[in-house]
Amino acid sequence: MFGQMQDVPLLMNRILDHAMINHGEREIVSRLVEGNIHRETYADAHLRARKLSQSLQGLGMGQGDVIATLAWNTHRHIEAWYGITGIGGVYHTLNPRLFPEQLVYIINHAEDKMIFTDLTFVPILEAIQDQLTHVKGIIIMTDAAHMPDTSLTHAYCYEDLIDGQNGDFNWVEVDERAPCGMCYTSGTTGNPKGVCYTHRSNVLHTLVGNSADVMGLKSTDSIMPVVPMFHANAWGLALSAPAAGSKIVNPGPNMDGESIYQLLTEEAVTFTAAVPTVWLMLLQHMEANDLKLPVLKDVTIGGSAVPRIMLEKFERDYEVSVKHAWGMTELSPLGTIASFKSGMEDMTFDEQMDIKVKQGRAPYGVEMKITDDDGNELPRDGVAFGHLMVRGPFIVGEYIKGDGGNILDENGFFDTGDVATIDPLGFMQITDRAKDVIKSGGEWISSIEIENVAVAHESVMEAAVIGLAHPKWDERPLLIIVKNEGADVSKEEILSFLEGKIAKWWMPDDVAFVDEIPHTATGKIQKLTLRSQFADYKLPTADSAAE
């Protein structure tokens, strides 16, 4: 027996319909690759997305076709997503920071039929076009005046495609479980794996993302998604902003401190989101120029652990509330967020920072547990750490084409590959990636926790900790540091700074200073590369232990 409520399918394009009808006047502002600032409204975006759907159909695209985007965050990228899903197609975000051979692999594996690209990335596609097996055409996201002289065969001009249509189009109705989006994980080992979102999972993720304890966008907000749409779907903001009716301010290709600051202030941004590296650049710019953030209220930070010092600066020096979030491509991507529970507003500043430095608690829609190597659930005591497992309606069930086989445990939980603690109030804290955790004398050392303490030192710009083979302890930590420009600091000074802030037996056996730490395409420290760079490195403790 079923209940008797309306069975309206959860389709992503209805979010844009809602924005057009109820917030049609609200702006989408974008800094474009061409250099100018572009303004349009949700009503404009809705019309242009419909015209794009018509064009895509005219180019022979239809339901189920996968159409990629290789683009910065702009109004055109948002229109492209809705234009693609409007014909029942599947948008597939490509990360331009990947190596060309990874892009070729991903494009062919996903069987992309067309690619939308920004001008910036035309040379990448020119170089690989001969290796693309399913691609029938490339849409260059610019107007006729800026169309490049290109060797791309079957290149189309985005604005010409739009100008050639009347917009008299109804979105194609598909099942809410139909595919609507794809994103591949950056894959530090082996080939990248693809995640395929459904309309339903995207809409549910939007509702959860917009709940008050998560990102809670409002129609009065002006939001800036600095996190790229090509990295974990810009944390869902291209859907949650129109659902709320918030103004969107797209930074386009310019993510340096000065450009971000300019848009934050000129467009009166109240909410923004990005990875810590972006905020590092912004904070440096503001400190160097003695600037303030009078309008900005909330910043969500995730993708990598937020250093405590960054949290404190935002909260104390700029009076901006930070929400630390954790997620991954496989989770659409929101997993947890560190928003306060009752009573925490009254805590001291330091106690509050102790909470905010954690990755946070699960909203409704994400179930979470930690387990040992045998799959036994570990206590939520904030001390035990184990494999972080998650379950929910916007969490991956299997990778595209079944890559990696069965990825769920017998209860349907997905192993995130992260290692974490969960405290009695439900706050999760990532201690490591499972493959980065340092195993010393049968116990685990959290590399992230040591890194977080090290970056609080005034001379340290970036820190990474890896485990090196050790004859007695199996593995011991090596702390690798990039100094701040002009800073002069010794190994001994760093080690004494760590003393008392981490467990004694976690103390790194050595400190190495480097000019640069390698990063993945999504801005995370590339520990695999670091481990191979330091494969022959000898810890000073190794000799004495071997004797």
Active site residues: 185, 330, 439, 444
The CA-atom distances, in angstroms, between 99 and each of 28, 95, 151, 153, 436 are: 31, 9, 20, 22, 23
Q: Which is nearer to ligand AMP, 192 or 508 (CB)?
A: 192
Q: How far is Cα 476 from Cα 479, in angstroms, rounded to an integer?
A: 10
DSSP three-state, residue 504: helix
- Side-chain-side CA neighbours of 146 within 13 Å: the count stands at 15
Looking at beta carbons only, is 435 or 501 nearer to ligand AMP?
Answer: 435
Q: Which of 88/302 has CB closer to ligand AMP?
A: 302
Of 247 and 324, nearer to ligand AMP (C-beta) is 324
The residue among 409, 396, 535, 421 whose CA lies nearest residue 469 is 535
Residue type, position 445, single letter = I
We find the least distance from the C-beta atom of residue 328 to ligand AMP, in angstroms, to be: 3
Smallest separation (angstroms) from ligand AMP to the CB of 327 = 6
Q: How far is the CB of 305 from ligand AMP (least distance, A)?
A: 4
State which residue, 28 or 450, has the beta carbon closest to ligand AMP.
450
Beta bridge partners of 38: 30
- In whole angstroms, how close is the CB of 113 to ligand AMP at the nearest point? 25
Q: Are 243 and 214 in contact (CB under 8 A)?
A: no
The answer for residues whose C-beta is within 8 angstroms of residue 370's C-beta and 6 or more apart is 377, 378, 380, 384, 385, 386, 387, 388, 389, 420, 421, 422
**Closest CB to ligand AMP among 185 and 421?**
185
- The distance of closest approach from Cβ of residue 326 to ligand AMP in the complex, given in angstroms and rounded to an integer, is 4
Distance CA 44, CA 28 (A): 9
CA atoms within 13 A on the CB side of 7: 5
Nearer to ligand AMP, 209 or 245 (CB): 209
DSSP 444: E
Q: CA 172 to CA 486: how far, in whole Å?
A: 59
Contact 539, 545 (CB under 8 A): no
Per DSSP bridges, beta strands 247-250 and 271-274 are unpaired
Dihedral, CA of residue 486, residue 491, residue 495 and residue 497, to nearest 10: -20
Q: Report yes or no: 324 and 357 within 8 Å, Cβ to Cβ.
A: yes
Positions in the binding site for ligand AMP (CB under 6 A): 185-186, 232, 302-305, 324-329, 333, 359, 416-418, 430, 433, 522
Residue 167 or 417 having the CB closest to ligand AMP: 417
Distance CA 11, CA 204 (A): 10
In terms of Cα–Cα distance, which of 479, 478, 477, 476 is closest to 462?
479
- Asked if 104 and 150 count as a contact pair (C-beta separation under 8 A), the reply is no
The token pair at 81 is 């997503």
Shortest spacing between CB 192 and ligand AMP, in angstroms: 10
In angstroms, give the least distance from the CB of 523 to ligand AMP: 9
What's the rounded Cα separation, in Å, for the pair 181 and 513?
A: 42
CB of 520 to ligand AMP, least distance (A): 8
**Contact by Cβ (8 Å): 511, 494:** yes
Query: Min. distance of Cβ 301 from ligand AMP in angstroms?
Result: 7
Instruction: Name beta bridge partners: 436.
Output: none
Residue placing its CB nearer to ligand AMP in the complex, 48 or 361: 361
What does the chain come to in residues? Answer: 547
- Name which of 42 and 326 has its Cβ closer to ligand AMP: 326
Give, for 198, the enclosing helix (H) or strand (E): strand 194-198
Distance CA 94, CA 121 (A): 11
Closest distance between ligand AMP and the C-beta of residue 209, in Å?
A: 15
CA–CA gap between residue 142 and residue 166 (Å, rounded): 19
Nearest Cα to Cα of residue 431 among 378, 473, 482, 470: 378
